[in-house]
Amino acid sequence: MKIKVQNAVIFFLPVVLLIFAAGLFFFRAPVLLVSDAYFNDLYGKNRTIFAGIKSSLSLFRWVKLVSVAEDIGPDGIAFAVSEVSENPYCVYFPNRYRNGAAAYQNQFPSTKIILFAEKENTSALPDDFFVVQTDTEADLYRAGRSAALISAENEGKILCYIRNSGSPEEKNAFTTGLKDGGAEKEVQFIDLSRKYTDGSPVSCIVLTGSAEDSFITEKNLPIILFSWADPSLLPPEVKVIFSDSPWEMLLPAVKMLGEEDKRFDLPSAVHMHPQSSFSSIEKRALKNVFLQKNPFIK
């Protein structure tokens, strides 16, 4: 009889613990992510579902998507968020909905708010906001090291399309990464609105934003792209993708809520194209680039 009781306990204990864990998961206050149809389409439906599941399991609390119309006003955003959850653990707002974040805070001042903000637009933000920004210099360092690897078999300079042709700090981060990657190639920094007219050979292109230069697609050169787009939908010339999308930044941002500092610079997530022609050795080398210590991370 005693053995039967022990066997029953052994059998039912995992079930009870699983039910308890599931109950705890769903009763914890959720994390809300404000988004819209444009981003959802760009990121991809399947990726959004997977990212929500992954984030929920990692945080051990339900992550819910608050999808709003792109032209909705601040009060409408605040209402939409409150309809999804009356008492969320925190709410993550993209920069374009910063006015909606302020309206929501006025109505629910005790809820933690994370705002993904552009660096030049943080001075007027409320002190209570947790502000997340992309660590651009850390990203460009890794982009430089990646460029050193994927341009190794090609002759010519490296083109880096970047806003305002890059600041001195951004240029230094990229060229330092290139040098640390073992490459001695020339780098030309070009503003996103301009075209490459030099005519000399190019071995690799780094595209940090939206550019309209037809040269980018004419030569079938390897590309390092900064984008939120689904990697599986990108052309095979795109070898490495840096993404600072809300789903990529959400998890590390929420985990930093307990810190005293309310301003965070976070590096982007990095992905290889799922259909890339990298050899196993090249893939390992790129993964090492992503994982190695980055001297530009603050």
- Please report, in tens digits, the pLDDT of each residue of the chain (298 residues total): 555 545 554 555 455 444 544 555 567 899 999 998 888 888 888 889 999 999 999 999 999 999 998 889 999 999 999 999 989 999 999 988 999 999 999 999 999 999 998 765 556 677 788 999 999 999 999 999 999 999 888 899 999 999 988 899 999 999 999 999 888 899 999 999 999 988 889 999 999 988 877 788 777 889 999 998 888 888 889 999 999 999 999 999 998 887 778 888 999 999 888 777 666 666 677 777 666 667 777 6
pLDDT number for residue 263: 86
Cα(22)–Cα(119) distance, rounded to whole angstroms? 39
pLDDT number for residue 10: 55
pLDDT number for residue 7: 53
**Domain-located, residue 199:** yes
**Domain-located, residue 248:** no
pLDDT number for residue 159: 94
Cα(43)–Cα(73) distance, rounded to whole angstroms? 23
Amino acid at 61: R
Residue at a domain's end among 66, 98, 133: 133
Does residue 200 share a domain with residue 126? no
**Domain-located, residue 144:** yes
Contacts of 16 (CB under 8 A, 6+ apart): none
pLDDT number for residue 1: 52
Burial of 12: CB neighbours in 10 Å, binned 0-12, 13-18, 19+: exposed
DSSP label at residue 244:
-
**Domain-located, residue 253:** no
Q: Provide the CATH number for the domain around residue 76.
A: 3.40.50
> Domain containing 199: what range?
136-243+269-291
34 φ, ψ (degrees, to nearest 5): -85, 130
Does residue 140 share a domain with residue 129? no
| Domain count across the chain | 2
Does residue 29 share a domain with residue 150? no
Sign of CA dihedral 66, 69, 74, 78: negative
Does residue 226 share a domain with residue 99? no
Tokens 């040269």: give the residue: 215
Does residue 129 share a domain with residue 140? no
Does residue 120 share a domain with residue 198? no
Q: Provide the CATH number for the domain around residue 167.
A: 3.40.50.2300
Burial of 4: CB neighbours in 10 Å, binned 0-12, 13-18, 19+: exposed
Report how far Cα 248 is from the mean position of its chain's Cα atoms: 3
**What pTM value is reported for the model?**
0.85
**Domain-located, residue 255:** no
Does residue 159 share a domain with residue 61? no
pLDDT number for residue 211: 83
